[in-house]
A and B are shown apart, each in its own frame.
Chain A
Amino acid sequence: MSTGLAPASETPPRIVYPGSADPNAPRPVTPTGIPHRGGPENPSAAAIRAQFPDAVRRVDVVWGETTVVVAGDKVLEIVRWLHDQPLHLYTYLSDVTAVEFRDPEEPIAVVWHLRSLAYRRFLRLKAEIPPGAPLEADSVWPVFKGADWLERECYDMFGIRFRGHPDLRRILMWEQYLEGFPLRKDFPLRGRFSRAEQLRQALAANPEARYSMEELSIADAFEDLPPSMRARLKGGEKTGE
């Protein structure tokens, strides 16, 4: 994967932030008087608007944090651009999650939390899924490998399918879970099945079958293992017993 680092002429000047190790750095100050709505927005928001004028729906600033609501099909492009641009360098993906509103016009939105360690910026990207549309979003896994489990959790809890995810399956609930997606608004708190049925299904699971071959990364490397180890794994190693 290309880091996208630009030639030296585009490299930005070194910035001395408050509280950094530089002897000339000013003392860090806790920001005060931040308005609930409005205030200075993250400079990356204007850059996104300039770069992708059609994709940006609106920009909100709430308690000093900037949210850019973008078109769902442009998310991967925008995230890759933010990650690669030397003037932004959003190299850390904090979270991928979703929000469901009790609002028929705006039922559900997928949220990406991005952080630029180099510039000390925080940016929230949101993609609203229109009513009636399939619950799908672009996976940012090609840019951030750490999005793998975050998107699996989002799929597990909200049922949002991420296009391009390498291995989209449940992560918190077990894979045979049949009751739906627990964080959706229409999901009853105690689940859909009776307690007895829930317990019966849970106890029917085989504790040894918990870990898939993919999860243990054995499947790919199986042929490279020494023959004795291969034989042991093929016969079903009695692990944990």
Chain B
Amino acid sequence: MGLTTRPAGGTGTVVSYEPQSSEGWVATKLDFLVNWGRANSLWPMPFGTACCAIEFMATAASKFDLARFGMERMSFSPRQADVLICAGRVPFKLAPIIRRIWQQMPQPKWCISMGACASSGGMFDNYAVVQGIDTIIPVDVYVPGCPPRPEGLLYGIRMLQEKVMRERMSNTARLRREMEPDPTSRLFIPPPAIDELSEPFGNSVNQTRSAL
């Protein structure tokens, strides 16, 4: 790269900032580098409740191969996930559970709502089904279809990757602060304690365990 040492014979090693040649230089923004890394290794947390999950499995299998986009690592623990893929209808009985899963995911996190039921309740406009998971958790990409074909889900994932690439670290409003921890819960740990216990974690300023 641009940091080279003088040829041997000089007095010690001196770092020079002069370009020695035209090759080996990368000029970039830190945002781009971080986003590039994030967008190409999104770890999905599959939340499959219905037939959309079957299409999701097909997407992850060899024919469509989600691994091409850096998502080969299915994270079945929300603690190690970047993107929640909600595939299928969510009944009201699951609403507090998917919200808990979302709250357990560390920042930065994204959400894909896969299929008509997850996006809007679909044809289940009845007493038992949540009318769109965006009434519970924020959604970045809605994938239409009943169920969407794997190509549709891959298109949604590419859209999410483009969205991640456009993010700016200086924009702190991007951080998701909708989490409302319940201090009366036995499971509650204060966010500073979580950060202190879990350091060091991640490689960016926004990536903390407490997700705050």
Tell me the B residues contacting A by CB distance below 8 Å.
Answer: 92-93, 95-97, 99-100, 104, 125-128, 130-131, 135-136, 185-187
Contact indicator B96/A190 (Cβ below 8 Å): no
Contact indicator B126/A203 (Cβ below 8 Å): no
Additional A-B contacts beyond A179-B127, A191-B128, A202-B95 (7; CB < 8 A): A173-B93, A173-B128, A190-B127, A199-B135, A199-B136, A206-B96, A236-B186
With A207-B100, A241-B187 as given contacts, are A199 and B130 in contact (CB-CB < 8 Å)?
yes
Question: Roughly how many angstroms separate A173 CA and B127 CA in the complex, as a whole number?
Answer: 10
Q: Which residue of A lies closest to B79 (CB)?
A: A241
Name the distance in Å between A153's Cβ and chain B's nearest Cβ: 14
Contact indicator A174/B99 (Cβ below 8 Å): no
Point out the residues of chain B lying under 8 angstroms from A236, CB to CB. Answer: 186
- The tally of residues in A whose CB lies under 8 Å from a CB in B reads 23
Report the 5 A-B pairs with minimum CB-CB distance, sorted nearest first.
A191-B127, A202-B92, A202-B95, A236-B186, A207-B96
Whether a CB of chain B sits under 8 angstroms from the CB of A208 is: yes
Point out the residues of chain A lying under 8 angstroms from B131, CB to CB. Answer: 195
Contact indicator A189/B186 (Cβ below 8 Å): no
Contact indicator A187/B136 (Cβ below 8 Å): no
Contact indicator A190/B126 (Cβ below 8 Å): yes
Contact indicator B127/A189 (Cβ below 8 Å): yes
Q: Which residue of B lies closest to A193 (CB)?
A: B127
Contact indicator A203/B96 (Cβ below 8 Å): yes
Consensus secondary structure, chain A interface: loop
Name the distance in Å between B101's Cβ and chain A's nearest Cβ: 9
Question: Roughly how many angstroms separate A142 CA and B93 CA in the complex, as a whole number?
Answer: 31
Name the distance in Å between A202's Cβ and chain B's nearest Cβ: 4
Q: Which of A195, A203, A205, A207 contacts B136 (CB 8 A)?
A: A203
Point out the residues of chain B lying under 8 angstroms from A85, CB to CB. Answer: none
Whether a CB of chain B sits under 8 angstroms from the CB of A238 is: yes
Contact indicator B127/A182 (Cβ below 8 Å): yes
Q: Which of B92, B100, B104 contacts A198 (CB 8 A)?
A: B92
Question: Roughly how many angstroms separate A208 CA and B187 CA in the complex, as a whole number?
Answer: 10
